[in-house]
Structure 1
């Protein structure tokens, strides 16, 4: 056991050294995780990075961006009927943005809901230097990997001017900073769910988004217009925690449901036994 632990520690140490030497460790530290700032790294640029929750804040739907084809589009074109998942990334990001999009892709694959049918996905670059060509390349890759035909009209990749980008990111509380030395952005990782009217409904942090949480977030944002009675039952048992960006179980509601189910089961059992006893008595009299 000691020899195994020693070997494991040696491999971990060697891996960290290699990551540092290859320059792969610094982007992880620089770009940050979860709600923005990795612990123990007080770099000044990271103090300007994070996600400030602005639940129920209105996104300015008059903002104009460019879609993958280069067409000028107002955000309102994507709202009105269905909830919207918003991911803020930049397309030439060397690491974290790809992890965010890959995590979102995995969650979308696990959902029975489909982008373009029950909801819309907006991926917006916060780098004003990027244009429709990069957006189109990203869309081709992710729509192909998603593998559902509706995604062509349900998952959009946008680019825009600095003013529009700033207004959008400020509206949802997404803070990022440009590092002139590396030519890259320091930024947080997470996605947001918006209502059909463009209000911020839910935040999900990190690079992995539990499909159950994402589904419940979409159902709540749509105010029950999508989903099933089972989803409504789950929403009775689970509560969104803004601090963690996750749904946690409401014990009291679960106990109430369990109690009601127990009473119903006992009542059904007693009714069946009562009817059976009556049939026996009738058979004896006959």
Structure 2
């Protein structure tokens, strides 16, 4: 029984150590659009960039009564998408010429390689922060990204919303999303990232930037669900990987990984000793039994 446990655990332990260097690189990767570089004077930054940011309001309730319009033009409360599953929330605007498209594309590609399903394991809610945008534009975006995602049932679990300035301001302020209109470029200056929210509407994890690794997004969803979804491997990964709010990523906790490796090593040695002791006893018993050497 013990050898089987050791053999089953060996690939997992190996994978943790193989992933460790890559994880370290990801944790230190730049996260564009939400934080000023260390040592850079605020006065040296363009005026719009000094006003934007992503303030982490972890475990603070979102205004679930805020009213928006879905892709069909129906008035909905944001809370309608909460209650049963974690929610992956992103603030975008559908006519954004650059960053928002990258955010949506990254979400789609990451979800495409995960074995968790939108509409079954979690909800996806994209909220436009441009009050001029319409349900028709939201509908077009939804159709575009559903065609890329191609996961059965996703239509009921991926929502593209628009709203008025009051509702947008309430939700973005509660989530810590700060953005400004830049008149010279006729565009919004805004941070990039996604928020993974608990079923009762409290931000659990912020993932910054325009790329979201499948491991990071999956672990954030599993954590936000409080164990309602995920596997034993997810639980082991969460033991070895720790969310860093400064980077918005999960990093390897070396000491925890070493503990698991140590336990696996002890189990392997114990299993080897047990096998050798049993073999030695059988050999001794056979040598001491005269009938074993008797010629019929």
TM-score, scaled to structure 2: 0.83
Query: Helix, strand or coil for the counterpart of 1:178?
Result: strand
**What CA deviation, in whole Å up to 9, does each residue of 1:100-149 have, x standing for no partner?**
11111111111111111111110000000001000000000001100112
Take 2:107 and 2:210, find their aligned partners in 1: how far apart are those partners?
Answer: 8
Take 2:34 and 2:189, find their aligned partners in 1: how far apart are those partners?
Answer: 12
Report deviation, 1:191.
0.7
Take 1:137 and 1:33, find their aligned partners in 2: how far apart are those partners?
Answer: 27
Report deviation, 1:169.
0.5
Query: Helix, strand or coil for the counterpart of 2:68?
Result: strand
Report deviation, 1:181.
3.2
1:114 equivalent in alignment to 2:113? no
Indicate which of 180, 183, 187 corresponds to 2:186.
Answer: 183
Query: Helix, strand or coil for the counterpart of 2:107?
Result: helix
**Partner in structure 2 of residue 46 of structure 1:** 49
**Partner in structure 2 of residue 205 of structure 1:** 208
- The answer on whether the counterparts of 2:102 and 2:210 sit within 8 Å (CA) in structure 1 is yes
Report deviation, 1:182.
3.1
Gapped regions of structure 1 (runs ≥ 5): 1-31
Q: Between Structure 1 and Structure 2, how many residues are aligned?
A: 255
Take 1:172 and 1:233, find their aligned partners in 2: how far apart are those partners?
Answer: 29
**Partner in structure 2 of residue 7 of structure 1:** none
1:33 equivalent in alignment to 2:32? yes
**Partner in structure 2 of residue 94 of structure 1:** 97
Indicate which of 137, 147, 159 corresponds to 2:140.
Answer: 137
**Partner in structure 2 of residue 252 of structure 1:** 255
Matches within 5 A, 1:210-249: 210-249=213-252
**Partner in structure 1 of residue 28 of structure 2:** none
**What CA deviation, in whole Å up to 9, does each residue of 1:236-261 have, x standing for no partner?**
00000000001011111111111111
Report deviation, 1:76.
1.4
Matches within 5 A, 1:262-277: 262-277=265-280
Query: Helix, strand or coil for the counterpart of 2:163?
Result: coil
1:169 equivalent in alignment to 2:168? no
TM-score, scaled to structure 1: 0.86
Higher normalized contact order (CA 8 Å, seq sep 6+, divided by chain length): 2
Query: Helix, strand or coil for the counterpart of 1:81?
Result: coil
The Cα RMSD (Å) is: 1.4
Take 1:50 and 1:177, find their aligned partners in 2: how far apart are those partners?
Answer: 10
Query: Helix, strand or coil for the counterpart of 1:45?
Result: helix
Take 2:222 and 2:170, find their aligned partners in 1: how far apart are those partners?
Answer: 27
**What CA deviation, in whole Å up to 9, does each residue of 1:162-197 have, x standing for no partner?**
011001101110000012333311101111100011
Gapped regions of structure 2 (runs ≥ 5): 1-30, 290-296
**What CA deviation, in whole Å up to 9, does each residue of 1:187-229 have, x standing for no partner?**
0111110001110011111111011011000110001111100
Take 1:117 and 1:227, find their aligned partners in 2: how far apart are those partners?
Answer: 12
Take 2:279 and 2:214, find their aligned partners in 1: how far apart are those partners?
Answer: 46
Query: Helix, strand or coil for the counterpart of 1:235?
Result: helix
Take 1:268 and 1:34, find their aligned partners in 2: how far apart are those partners?
Answer: 52
Take 2:241 and 2:185, find their aligned partners in 1: how far apart are those partners?
Answer: 43
